[in-house]
């Protein structure tokens, strides 16, 4: 097993790394930091004074008088609400075109958690970090609370009255992609009423290149369905389909199906990624090759030629090897292959289409019968609009003044329009320029529908009464059209006509999804026209390859095009690739760091200086006459001559308190670096100037926060990885490896019994266990946010993350491995409390606040904890979290949290606190907390079974689930399986049995007997490589 490392300090085994391994709590304690406090002396009298005061204060706080509490029932209880019991309503997460079918958990009238909808044929119960976090947006204090005219509060009646005359001339509805059939009907009615009106769609992240290419090649201006589950060979060229590209939840789910292994028949898909800066998809690929953004054309052309038998001839030899490998894999897959490309250049996409035709993907992994409806906007429509005369602009969920490349031009354009109306939840960068601001419902307050893909319908229903004076835009348009029916009426009429008698409206609303029967079986493959290919090839061949430093703009998994910046959960979620929180930064490769920053990561002192200090060097980036300053992070897996900046930052303060840090907007708006070429947006810049400044800026990196290691080093007991060839050659490699590790303690066979001085305790009845397939996990972070939402995990703010005080119960560790430190292999490992049966934390607690249950849970009792932190010290996995401050304002004393970040204060507003789960204690200052295996869900599931007088069911043979833990429920790839291990027929037992030859426990040799098992990561790397190694 090869060495895995988390940081360069670890790779080089530096002094600072060694030191940090010894130090449990890396944050400096306040009195050490101040210095002055340590020097002061506390005389005996002072001590007595303090003692007296605290005793008196405690007595006062506890107060002998018991407060009188009221218990106020409903005056008239609604029939379907039982206080204390959650209701679940199927609805659809819709944000800027993204659509995921979900189920909202509503407790006592408040939506508090989003779960995936298992009935959805597209996402099948999967979610993403952003879907999970969307419930917090409902309670966002930055939402507009009432409609305004020119900044003054107005009523809807007043606005309707004024607009009856004000709407006129050339009317334009500018919206993000609308995939709701009934809403399109509403727009159609509106357009019919106003003769000179039109509807233009505009997406922040444009896919016009694909749309235009498909129109030329297939006569369909649409994005087909990509069937990653059918693909045995996948080549992605700059398409982050696991993180941000088109429909990541759907693709991640399908991709994982091809990656899951069966011990009896070890077959898995092979994925080769070409990319410019490190992305989630590239990190998960079996092999990754790096190229410049301007080399995309050459890579795509080279791949087409290689498939047709011509050897690629690029200047970068590594790329030639990659292209040959890719071509070989694609051809070998015999049609079950797929090439996807993230470029927005039509010509590139035409050549990609030609490649997919050449390998026979069309009809097998690409389905034009069912097209994806979530991205339909064409850039040229918008560029044309900017130059046309508009009298009335109706802005709908789109924000071009922030997301368009030439944002100043958009600003001036909007300012020049006579009547400007914005439908938006917040007064964002474009809406604030509009005269009429009409706030919208959150999706959890809305009615609606969505046709996510052809004939795959999903429905929205309100889960709470509107919190503010808001109105659905469909209602507004209908009013202005003069319709007497409101949107709900229109929606019902629309669907009663569409649904047969068998599918009543109530039924589809309850299910949340509907696919007509018989489903549209994707027919014969779409007819390909090769007419445009030659022209495209010529254009690409002529495209110059830059010799300068290039810039790639990319989306972060959590932030997207900027929707996540105002959400504290998403801002605090460590980015899977960089492991940074709260900030925007420039990504550079280790090679460039040497030149630009004078940091050589191979040099121990310099690596330590970079990694230990949170303050990073700041670089000035200049391109196209625009300049921004950003801190620099060194991320391997980035091309040596390419830098990357995430879009979505530099937002206006109107969108929320989380976008502001120390009175300044976090990061910079990177959209301004995008260029418009041939009417399409290009998210790369071929020539940027970088200059190092003397400034330093702290970035909250969590990568090195929880280090643990073992005597053997190399982390082989923590993380196991092998290649498919190795697995086929020796199916028992992992088992043999474990045997070797455990040999001093009795070997695999006798280890459980002999390896300890403690006796084994019975687990009658239930024993909880979790199994995580590292082949399926892609590190997307949905589980991290789901865990925070379910368990009331506090947001601590950037300042606290910098002090190593992050609180997430579940973290996804990123490991590097391989010889090439500039382009290492990456593997992700979700790590939460392992609920060890022989837990080292339990032995050291002086007050028995943490102990073991007969169901195998490592229990944490907050009200017993006195905060010695011995347990955290003794935990080998570093998964215990200490409440350094009163993050949740749970103390009796009011001002314990006043010095925390504004984002933390925001989380504690009455409105925001409505998102808290009432079944989970809100922790106060001074106690340890950690993953509880969602014990509230376990108890609820057991009670369900007890009430029905039947054994508990956790998947497996019965297929029924009495409970799913939050991370398991949210996982788009079903990488996490949880259940009763004592039940040999449960899903978790089956999972462990099926993959017995890949199963391992992290740090097993410590004999702590964890209850979370992992399935070793298997990489599908070519046979030759393995043979070469063997020889």
Partner 1 sequence: MKFHHQITKLILTSILFVLFASISNNILAQDGKSLFMKNCASCHALDKKLTGPALMGVEDRWKGNRKNLHAWIKNTGSYMKTSNDAYAIALYNEYGKSAMNVFDGVLDDKQIDDILDYIKKGPEVKVAANGDAGEKPESDNTLLFGILTLILAVVAFTLMQVNSNLKKLSDDKEGIPAAEPVVFWKNRTYIAFGIILLVIIGGYLTAKGAIGLGRNKGYVPEQPIFYSHKVHAGINQINCQYCHGGVNDSKHANIPSVNVCMNCHMAINEYKGTAKLYNEEGEEVNGTAEIQKLYKYANYTPGKPFDASKATAIPWTKIHNLPDHVYFNHSQHVVAGKQQCQTCHGEITKMDEVKQFADLSMGWCINCHRETKVQFKENGFYSIYQKYHDDLKSGKMDSTKGVTVEKIGGTECQKCHY
**Taking CA 181 as the corner, what is the angle to CA 199 and CA 393, rounded to the nearest 5 degrees?**
20
User: Nearest-CA neighbor of 356 among 304, 281, 290, 313?
Assistant: 304
CB of 920 to partner 1, least distance (A): 6
Residue 103 binds partner 1, judged by CB under 8 A = no
Q: Which stretch binds partner 1 (CB under 8 A): 60-68, 188-196, 476-484, 616-624?
A: 60-68
728 near partner 1 (CB under 8 A): no
Return the number of the residue (70 or 389) whose C-beta is nearest partner 1: 70
Q: Is 169 helix (H, G, I), strand (E, B) or coil?
A: coil
Which residue has 């937002």 as its token pair?
Answer: 651
In sequence order, the 6+-apart residues with CB closer than 8 A to the CB of 955 are 961, 977, 979, 986, 987, 988
Q: Which is nearer to partner 1, 166 or 916 (CB)?
A: 916
Question: For partner 1, which is the closer residue by CB, 618 or 945?
Answer: 945
Residue 72 sits in the site that holds partner 1 (CB under 8 A) = yes
- Nearby residues of 266 by Cβ (< 8 Å), 6 or more positions away: 724, 727, 728, 731, 1018
Q: In this chain, which stretch among 10-18, 191-199, 603-611, 852-860 interacts with partner 1, using CB under 8 A? A: 852-860
- We find the least distance from the C-beta atom of residue 895 to partner 1, in angstroms, to be 20
Question: CA angle, 1004 as apex, 1002 and 1007 as ends, to 5°?
Answer: 140
The CA distance from 412 to 409, in Å, is 5
**One residue of 37, 38, 46, 77 binding partner 1 per CB under 8 A:** 77
Q: Which residues in 132-151 contact partner 1 (CB under 8 A)?
A: none
For residue 481, give both structure tokens: 């059209």
Nearer to partner 1, 203 or 919 (CB): 919
Does residue 44 touch partner 1 according to CB under 8 A? no
In the complex, minimum distance from the CB of residue 480 to partner 1, in angstroms, rounded to a whole number: 32
Q: What is the rounded distance in angstroms from the CA atom of residue 572 to the CA atom of residue 787?
A: 13
> 586: helix, coil or strand?
strand
Does residue 70 belong to the site contacting partner 1 (CB under 8 A)?
yes
Nearer to partner 1, 240 or 919 (CB): 919
CA–CA dist 415, 411 (Å, integer):
6
Dump the DSSP string for 765-834. Answer: S--EEEEEETTT-----HHHHHHHHHTTPPP--HHHHHTT----S-EEEEEEESS-TTS-EEEEEEE---
Provide the β-strand partners of residue 392.
171, 419
CB of 951 to partner 1, least distance (A): 5
User: Which residue in the block uniquely carries the two structure tokens 């508990």?
Assistant: 952
Toward partner 1, which CB reaches closer, 869 or 944?
944
Per residue, what are the HEC states of 845-858? CCCCCEEECCCCCE
Torsional class of 714: left (φ above 0), alpha (ψ -120 to 50), beta (otherwise): left
Least separation in angstroms between CB 839 and partner 1: 14
85 binds partner 1 (CB under 8 A): yes
Closer CB to partner 1, 416 or 765, in the complex:
765
With contacts defined by CB under 8 A, name the span among 481-489, 527-535, 724-732, 944-952 that binds partner 1: 944-952
Q: How far is the CB of 109 from partner 1 (least distance, A)?
A: 14
For position 66 contacting partner 1 by CB under 8 A, the verdict is: yes
Does 320 help bind partner 1 (rule: CB under 8 A)? Answer: no
Residues in the chain: 1031
Cβ distance to partner 1 smaller for residue 102 or 860: 860
Which residue's structure tokens are 């007819």? 527
Whether the link from the prior residue into 518 is cis, omega within 30° of 0, is yes
CB contact set of 551 (below 8 Å; sequence gap of 6+): 293, 621, 623, 642, 643, 644, 645, 673, 684, 685, 688
Q: Which stretch binds partner 1 (CB under 8 A): 64-72, 87-95, 328-336, 565-573?
A: 64-72
Task: Find all residues with CB under 8 Å of 204, minimum gap 6, and list them.
Answer: 96, 176, 398, 399, 403, 561, 562, 671
583/842 with CB nearer partner 1? 842
Which 751-810 residues touch partner 1, going by CB under 8 A? 762, 764-766
Among the listed residues 236, 771, 859, 954, the single contact to partner 1 using CB under 8 A: 859
**Binding marks (x or -) toward partner 1, 861..900, rule CB under 8 A?**
xxxx------------------------------------
Per rule CB under 8 A, is residue 492 in the interface with partner 1? Answer: no
Which of the residues 902 through 921 are near partner 1 (CB under 8 A)?
A: 919-921
173 part of the interface to partner 1, by CB under 8 A: no
Binding flag, residue 75, partner 1 (CB under 8 A): yes
- CA-nearest of 444, 243, 478 to 340 is 243
Q: Which of 781, 718, 721 is nearest to 973 (CA)?
A: 781
Query: Please, which residue, 79 or 819, has the CB nearer to partner 1?
Result: 79
From the list 24-32, 74-82, 380-388, 541-549, the region that binds partner 1 by CB under 8 A is 74-82
Distance, in Å, from the CA atom of 922 to the CA atom of 791, rounded to the nearest integer, reads 9
Number of residues that bind partner 1 (CB under 8 A): 53
Strand partners, 99: 94
Residue 922 binds to partner 1 (criterion: CB under 8 A): yes
Task: Determine, following the binding rule CB under 8 A, whether residue 544 of this chain makes contact with partner 1.
Answer: no
CB of 863 to partner 1, least distance (A): 5
At its nearest, how many Å lie between partner 1 and the CB of residue 761? 12
Which tokens is 686 given? Answer: 């071929």
Q: Do 484 and 475 contact (CB within 8 A), yes or no?
A: no
Q: Which of 64, 484 has the CB closer to partner 1?
A: 64
CB of 962 to partner 1, least distance (A): 10
Residue whose tokens read 């399409």? 680
Return d(Cα 144, Cα 651) in angstroms, integer.
16
Segment contacting partner 1 by CB under 8 A, of 253-261, 482-490, 633-641, 928-936: 928-936
**DSSP symbols for 99-168:** EEEEEEEEETTEEEEEEE-TT-TTTTT---HHHHHHHHHHT-TTS--S-EETTEE--HHHHHHHHHHH--
Interface residue with partner 1, options 756, 853, 905, 908 (CB under 8 A): 853
Query: Which one among 860, 904, 977, 1015 touches partner 1, defined by CB under 8 A?
Result: 860
* 81 CB-side CA count, 13 A: 15
Which residue ranges make up the site for partner 1 (CB under 8 A)? Answer: 62, 64, 66, 68-77, 82-85, 762, 764-766, 851, 853-855, 857, 859-864, 919-922, 932, 935-936, 939, 942-943, 945-952, 980, 982-983
């Amino acid at each position: 097993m090869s060495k895995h490392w988390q940081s360069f300090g670890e790779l080089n085994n530096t002094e600072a790394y060694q030191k940090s391994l010894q130090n449990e709590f890396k944050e400096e304690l306040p009195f050490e930091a101040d210095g002055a406090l340590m020097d002061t002396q506390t005389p005996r009298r002072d001590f007595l004074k303090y003692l007296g005061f605290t005793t008196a204060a405690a007595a006062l706080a506890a107060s002998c008088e018991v407060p009188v509490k009221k218990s106020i029932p409903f005056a008239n209880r609604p029939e379907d609400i039982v206080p204390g019991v959650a209701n679940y309503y199927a609805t659809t997460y819709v944000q800027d075109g993204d659509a995921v079918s979900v189920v909202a958990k509503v407790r006592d009238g408040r939506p508090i958690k989003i779960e995936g909808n298992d009935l959805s044929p597209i996402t099948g119960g999967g979610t993403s970090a952003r879907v999970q976090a969307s419930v917090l947006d409902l309670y966002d204090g930055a939402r507009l609370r009432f409609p305004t005219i020119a900044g003054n509060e107005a009523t809807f009646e007043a606005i309707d009255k004024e607009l009856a005359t004000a709407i006129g001339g050339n009317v334009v509805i500018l919206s993000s992609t609308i995939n709701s059939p009934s809403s399109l009907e509403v727009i159609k009615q509106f357009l019919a009423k106003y003769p000179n009106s039109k509807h233009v769609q505009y997406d922040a992240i444009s896919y016009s290149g694909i749309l235009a290419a498909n129109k030329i090649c297939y006569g369909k201006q649409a994005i087909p369905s990509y069937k990653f589950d059918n693909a045995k060979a996948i080549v992605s060229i700059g398409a982050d389909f696991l993180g941000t590209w088109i429909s990541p939840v759907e693709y991640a789910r399908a991709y994982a199906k091809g990656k899951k292994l069966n011990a009896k028949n070890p077959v898995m898909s092979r994925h080769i990624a070409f990319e410019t800066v490190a992305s989630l998809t590239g990190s998960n690929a079996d092999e990754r090759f790096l190229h410049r953004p301007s080399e995309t054309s050459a890579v795509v052309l080279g791949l087409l030629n290689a498939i047709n038998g011509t050897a690629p001839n690029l200047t970068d030899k590594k790329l030639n090897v990659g292209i040959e490998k890719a071509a070989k894999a694609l051809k070998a897959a015999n049609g079950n292959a797929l090439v996807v490309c993230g470029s927005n250049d039509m010509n590139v996409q035409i050549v990609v289409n030609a490649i997919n035709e050449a390998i026979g993907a069309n009809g097998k992994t690409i389905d034009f019968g069912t097209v994806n409806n979530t991205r339909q906007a064409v850039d040229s429509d918008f560029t044309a609009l900017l130059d046309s005369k508009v009298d009335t602009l109706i802005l709908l969920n789109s924000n071009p003044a922030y997301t368009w490349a030439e944002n100043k031009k958009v600003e001036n354009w909007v300012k020049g329009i006579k009547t400007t109306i914005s439908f938006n939840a917040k007064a964002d960068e474009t809406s604030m320029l509009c005269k009429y601001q009409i706030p919208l419902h959150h999706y959890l307050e809305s009615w609606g529908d969505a046709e996510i893909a052809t004939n795959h319908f999903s429905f929205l229903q309100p889960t709470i009464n509107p919190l503010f004076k808001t109105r659905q835009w469909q209602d507004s348009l209908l009013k202005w059209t003069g319709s007497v029916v409101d949107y709900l009426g229109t929606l019902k009429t629309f669907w009663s006509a569409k649904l047969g008698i068998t599918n009543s409206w109530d039924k589809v609303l309850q299910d949340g999804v509907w696919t007509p029967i018989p489903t549209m079986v994707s027919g014969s493959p779409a007819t390909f026209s090769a007419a445009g290919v030659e022209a495209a090839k010529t254009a690409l061949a002529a495209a110059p390859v830059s010799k300068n430093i290039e810039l790639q703009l990319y989306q972060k998994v959590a932030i997207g095009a900027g929707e996540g910046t105002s959400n504290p959960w998403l801002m605090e979620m460590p980015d899977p690739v960089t492991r940074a929180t709260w900030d925007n930064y420039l990504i550079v490769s280790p090679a460039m760091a040497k030149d630009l920053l004078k940091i050589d990561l191979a040099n121990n002192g310099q690596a330590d200086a970079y990694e230990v200090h949170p303050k990073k060097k700041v670089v000035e980036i200049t391109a196209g006459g625009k300049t921004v300053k950003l801190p620099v992070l060194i991320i391997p897996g980035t091309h040596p001559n390419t830098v990357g900046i995430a879009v979505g930052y530099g937002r206006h303060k109107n969108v929320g308190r989380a976008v502001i840090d120390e009175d300044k907007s976090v990061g910079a708006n990177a959209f301004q670096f995008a260029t418009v070429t041939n009417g399409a947006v290009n998210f790369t810049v071929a020539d940027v100037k970088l200059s190092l400044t003397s400034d330093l800026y702290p970035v909250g990196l969590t990568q090195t926060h929880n280090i643990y290691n073992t005597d053997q080093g190399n982390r082989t007991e923590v993380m196991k990885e092998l290649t498919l060839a190795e697995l086929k050659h020796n199916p028992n490699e992992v088992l043999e490896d474990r045997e070797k590790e455990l040999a001093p303690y009795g070997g695999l066979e006798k280890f459980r019994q002999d390896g300890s001085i403690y006796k084994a305790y019975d687990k009658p009845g239930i024993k909880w266990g979790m199994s995580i397939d590292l082949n399926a996990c892609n590190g997307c972070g949905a589980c991290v946010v789901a865990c925070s939402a379910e368990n009331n995990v506090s947001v601590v703010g950037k300042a606290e993350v910098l002090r190593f005080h992050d609180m997430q119960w579940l973290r996804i560790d990123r490991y590097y491995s391989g010889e090439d430190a500039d382009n290492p292999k990456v593997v992700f490992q979700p790590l939460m409390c392992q609920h060890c049966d022989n837990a080292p934390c339990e032995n050291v607690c002086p007050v028995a606040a943490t102990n073991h249950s007969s169901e195998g849970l490592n229990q944490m009792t907050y009200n017993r904890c006195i905060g010695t932190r011995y347990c955290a010290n003794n935990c080998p996995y570093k998964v215990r979290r200490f409440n350094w401050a009163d993050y949740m304002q749970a103390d009796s004393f009011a001002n314990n949290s006043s010095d925390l970040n504004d984002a933390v204060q925001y989380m504690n507003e009455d409105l925001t606190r409505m998102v808290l789960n009432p079944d989970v204690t809100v922790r106060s200052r001074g106690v340890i907390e950690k993953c509880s295996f969602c014990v509230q869900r376990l108890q609820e599931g057991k009670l369900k079974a007890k009430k029905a007088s039947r054994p508990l069911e956790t998947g497996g043979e019965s297929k029924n689930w009495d409970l799913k833990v939050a991370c398991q429920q949210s996982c788009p790839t079903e990488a996490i399986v949880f259940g009763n291990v004592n039940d040999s027929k449960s899903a978790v037992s089956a999972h462990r049995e099926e993959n017995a030859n890949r199963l391992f426990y992290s740090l097993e040799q410590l004999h702590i007997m964890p209850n979370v098992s992992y399935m070793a990561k298997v990489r599908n790397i070519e046979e030759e490589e393995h043979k070469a190694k063997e020889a």
